[in-house]
Each structure stands twice: as C-alpha cells, then as structure tokens.
A and B are shown apart, each in its own frame.
Chain A
Amino acid sequence: MSRSHVAEGLLPAEGDVPGSGDQPVLVVENLSVSFATPDGRVQAVRDVSFSVDGEEVLGIVGESGSGKSVTMMAVMGLLPKTATVTGSVRFRGQEILGLPEKELRRHRGNHVAMVFQDPLTSLNPVFTIGNQIAEAIRVHHDVSRREAMAKAVTLLELVGIANAGQRAHEYPHQFSGGMRQRAMIAMSISNDPDLLIADEPTTALDVTIQAQILEVLERAQAAVHSAIVLITHDLGVVAGMADRVLVMYAGRAVELGAVDDVFLHPRHPYTLGLLESLPRLDDDGQERLTPITGSPPSLLHPPAGCTFHPRCRFVRPMCGEVVPELRFVGGLGQRSACHYAEELQAVDQGRG
C-alpha cells in the first residue's frame, strides 16, 4: 500500500491514461429534480440529458435558477432528502441515483469531486488547510496521517501555493480568497477523480485572480486526467476553457454542442439572446447591448410548451403548446430545443 499515493496522478503518468473517449465518464438521462414546497412543487430540473467524455471540459451555462447547480448536486449525490429525483445518472456505467448513502460516500470526493463557488465559506474555519486536504485523502484511502499530509503539501505545491510545507499548517483565514480557491482545487484532485465539478469557481473572486484560478484548474485537470464540468454564467470563461457547452434555461437543456458551434452559430433564441447581451471588444461602442426582455419564469408554474416562449422574439403559436425536444440541428452534434432552430441560420449572417 505504501506505493505512495503521493506520486500517483501528480506526475503526467504515461501509459495509464484512463480510457480516454471510449466510454463517457458521466451519462445523465432524462434527469428531473423537483422539491416540494408549501406553495407547491418546484421543478428545478426537467428532463435533462447530456454526457461528459473523459478529459473533456463541458461548460454548463445558464442564469440563477436555471437548474445547473441542482443537476450537478444530483451527480454528486448531495441533493437534500426533500428532493424528488427521476431519470438516470450513470457514472462510468454505474447508476448513482438511488444508491445507499454508504456507497454514495465512496463515490463522492473520490470519483467525482467538487470545487465550490465561494472559497471564503467553503473551507472549515477551525481546521488547517493541510488537515482538510489530508482528511479528504484519508476518507478514501488507508494511509497514515503523515502520508496524507505529505500528499496534501505536494498538492498545494501543484496548485501554486508557495512555501506549501508551512502554509499547509495555516488556517483558512490566513489565506487570501484566491489562495483558498487554489486549496479547494488541491483538495478536489486529492483522490485523482475522474470528474471534477467546478461550480462557479471564479464568481466570488477578483477579476485579476479569475484567470489564474482557471489556469490552476487546467493544470489540476492535466495532472489527474479528469473531465471537468464547469458551471458558470460567464460566457467568456466557457469560451476560454470548455470543449462543449450545455445551455440551460428554467430547468431545461436548451442547447448543447461544441463551444465554437454554439457561440458562432447559436440555434436557440435564448443562447442568441445571451450572446447579444454581451459587450464585445471589437465593438466601436456605437451599438447598444441587447437585453433579453422579460424575466425568468416561475419554476412553480412554468409556461406550457417551450419554457422560453414568453420571452422569445421569434415566438409562434406552436411554441406555447408543444415542448420542443433537444434535437440535432446543423452538423457535428449540435443540438437545440427549438422548433424553429434552422431558421436561426438567417441570424448567423446578420451577426457577421
């Protein structure tokens, strides 16, 4: 057993690259999550399907309440008991939904690890950084305290914390926000996970730090050869880092495809709206930003048909009646849940 975990996974291991691409790491099929509230049933996620391949970065984009975080909490098996979950979440072929807590615990932090949004509150204030990383290791591996601590220090070095041996013995409040997020990333890769879920990892940080953290995330991914699901509402982050992107709106997947396809040729009016509401660097400053009119729908009483139709500028009678399927449009695996996706081709030309 002492064939140390320390080295494992930290060096670019040759030969044991996990079955890249053969089989998706994560397959989510028809996932629906709802919560009973005194006012009725909140449908947080409805009929969402997607998959993540080994070593791929999938960006999930959507506004607050679009269901992106709830979807990934379901993948972690961290949904509260009040949640009603249907569908299927398979991790490396194994069904996660309905697993007993004991099995889920072996899965969490080991095969799938998570980096949370706010590093200021996500670390326990009363334990040292090293201690918290070592705990993550010891929960899943039978190693001594000393070995776990040594690996924690190596991990902290990997994520770019200077003087890691000493800083491992410091408490979270002695770290800056960016440092804490680095420590969170170190913790998340401590068990060489196959999938890393980063839930808005840069939202709570200074703009100047954001790029650094994304770089650390990429370095961490390279070290452990994991796939990443990057949850964000920052389209710039997705453009810079993700291979594919899933756009969610009001609990539904509305568009899925390679980042270049989706960003250059959006096939869903919501994605188009998101892109148009962004300021552009090559803009001469004359054009005004175009907001999406209206506000997100209530998840208690979502609109019939396409959830986006009340705000859609291309709306037609059918949109309020029939729920559009997430279907293939265009080439190369781009999918959209819009009845009239093909007609957005005309807009492509207009956008130049």
Chain B
Amino acid sequence: MLAFTLRRLAVSIPVVIASSFIVFVLVATAGGDPLADLRLRPGISEGTIELRRKQLHLDEPVLQRYGNWATAAITGDLGKANGGEEVRPLLVRRLGVTLRLVVFATIIAVILAVFIGSMGAVKQYSKFDYTATFFAFVFFSMPVFWLAAILRDVGIRINTRIDRHIFFVVGEQTPGLGGGFLNVQADRLGHLILPSVTLILISMASWSRFQRGSMLEVLNADYIRTARAKGVSARRVLFRHALRNALIPVVTIVAIDFATILGGAVITETVFGWTGMGRLLVDGLKASDVNVIQAWLLVAAVLVISFNLAADLLYGYLDPRTRTT
C-alpha cells in the first residue's frame, strides 16, 4: 500500500509541473497589463514603472520567468502580489476559509447521497424513491449561482419576517467577534449553513443517482444471491456485501467531481460575500497578477491531484482487484 502511494505521488509530480507551466504561460501571455494599476496613478514617472517592471521580471522572456518562479516555488516562496503583499500567507488564509466550506459540504453530501441513493435502490419505485429522484433532477439541473442566490434571498426573507437574525447571508464569519474559541466556531458554523446547503444539494443530486444505480446493479449480482443462500441476514447482505461493492464507482465520481465542487465553492463564496479562494481568484484576474493566479492554480491542482490519489487509495481499499502487487 505504501509503495502504491509513493508510486502514485511520483506519477503526480510531472502532472503538477506540466499544469503549472501551462498556466504560467497562459497567464503571462494573456495580454493583461500587471502594471495597469500603477500607470493609472498620477505622478508616477516612466522610470518608476520601468523599475517595477524589472522588479517583477516582466522584461524577461516567459521561459526564464517561469524558471525563476518555479525555483522559488520549490522552496515555498510564492513571490509577492503586484501590490507587494506576500502571496503565501494570503493564500493560506483564503484557502482555510474555502476548505472549511468545501470539506464540510462534501462530507455531508457524501453521507446523504449514499444513504438516499441506497434507500432508493432497496426500495425501488417506492414513494421515497420517486421523491428522491424528483428532487435529484431538480437540483441537478440548477445552476450553482442561482440556487445560492435563492437560498440567500430565502434566508433574508425569513430573517425579516420573524425579525431575528437566524441565517447569516454575508461573509464567512462576523468580523471582530470576541467571546473565546467556542463562540467563534459557533459563529463560523452559522455562516457555513446556507453556502453549504447550496453545495450539498447540488453535489448530492448527482451522487445519489450514481449510488442508486450502482446499488441496483450490485443487488442483482450473483454474489448477493450467494450471500442470501448462505443464510446471511438481509441487513448484513445490504451493509456488508452490497454497500461496499456499490461504493466503488461512487468513490471515483466524488473524487472526479472535486474540481467541480471547488468551482461551485468559488461561485457560492461570491454570492455570499466570503473572502475565500473565490475572491482571491477574481481579484487576481482583474489585476493580471501572475503570482496570485499561479499560486491559486497550483493549490487547486495539488488539491485535485490529492483527491484523486485519495480516491485511488480508497478504491484499492474497497476493491482488492485494483490493488497492485
């Protein structure tokens, strides 16, 4: 298992290098002017602008710039933003906010999807199954930004109607809130609710369908009949023999969908006014800030790769046929 993990990690390295290179070249040659902000300010001389261009290495060829960036990045130095701020601490702060949303929503969505999908398969064509199917299709076909906007609006209406502040609709936490650790966490959880529900409903919609299909297939498998012929109880057949097999394809789907969730989180954050990775990307793009965008995409790439790796490991754990050696 360790050898497998190391091999998978080793294979991922060229992927990270290639993706960072492609992204760097795309951003650096995309035509935005990183100095636009500076140029617009009054009283800045040509000399200052030229100096800044040198500082940011904008006068060098793209390949050389990538080389500089990569050398620094390996040592953990992600450079400075156009405004002069260190990128790394900025990134860590923003990533923390976004991961809170993504991880929380993903865990809950997976649990609900597995439960609802399996129930739908076991009780196929029941009222429960039809209801779950209906809502799955509703949320599956809804754009993230729209669902987020609706939930935000509903939250505001409820708050106004009962004249109490139940749903937080702006930001990831109340700024400057004191009252100790627990108080802060409770406040964060409160802010988490509506954005999470957005992501949960949308990802759960497709995952529960996959789980249902996969479970239906497994329940008709010969080895389920064998288990029943052994005298194993219906519950044990379901949880031990069927569920484990049915989870195998779903694990892959969830891992592949991780990029989509990250994208969904960026949009959801924007709707709910979070200062997370979403805002960072939008601001970075507006300013043509190569270092910020580069760092952002690097993190996204690493996250996607690690989720795929995690999926492979889980896959190997669930399905002995995919284990090598």
Name A residues whose Cβ lies closer than 8 Å to a Cβ of B.
76, 78, 101, 105-110, 113-114, 116, 118, 121-126, 135-136, 139-140, 171, 173, 184, 187
Contacts and interface: CB of A to CB of B under 8 A. Distances in A.
B241 interface: yes
Contacts, number: 67
Contacts of B7: none
17 contacts: A105-B232, A106-B231, A108-B231, A109-B229, A109-B232, A110-B231, A113-B229, A114-B229, A116-B226, A116-B229, A122-B222, A125-B223, A125-B245, A126-B320, A135-B230, A136-B231, A139-B231
Q: Is the interface of B mostly helix, strand, loop or mixed?
A: helix
* 4 pairs of A and B residues whose beta carbons are closest in the complex: A109-B231, A109-B230, A121-B222, A124-B223
B317 to A, nearest CB: 10
Contact of B241 (A105, A114, A118, A124): A124
A113 B228 CA distance: 11
Contacts of A125: 223, 245, 319-321
B112 interface: no
Interface string B283-313: 0000000000000000000000000000000
Q: How large is the interface on B (under 10, 10 to 19, 20 to 34, 35 or more residues)?
A: 20 to 34
Nearest to B231: A109
Contacts of A78: 225, 228-229
B180 to A, nearest CB: 47
Q: Is the interface of A mostly helix, strand, loop or mixed?
A: mixed
A171 B227 contact: no
B244 interface: yes
A110 B223 CA distance: 18
Interface string B234-261: 1000000100110000000000000000
Nearest to A101: B234
Contacts of A122: 222-223, 225-226
Contacts of B223: 121-125
Nearest to A174: B320
Contacts of B234: 101
A173 to B, nearest CB: 5
A116 B221 CA distance: 12
A135 B236 CA distance: 11
A104 B226 CA distance: 15
B222 A116 contact: yes
Contacts of A121: 221-223
B318 interface: yes
A106 B231 CA distance: 6
Given A101-B234, A140-B231, 19 more contacts: A78-B228, A105-B231, A106-B231, A107-B231, A109-B230, A109-B231, A110-B231, A113-B230, A118-B222, A121-B223, A122-B225, A123-B223, A123-B226, A125-B245, A126-B245, A126-B320, A139-B233, A184-B226, A187-B230
A118 to B, nearest CB: 6
Contacts of B227: 124
Contacts of A116: 222, 225-226, 229
Given A118-B222, A121-B221, A122-B222, A108 B230 contact: yes
Contacts of A110: 231
Contacts of B228: 78, 108
A263 B152 CA distance: 80
B245 A136 contact: no
Nearest to B318: A126
Interface in B201-227: 221-223, 225-227
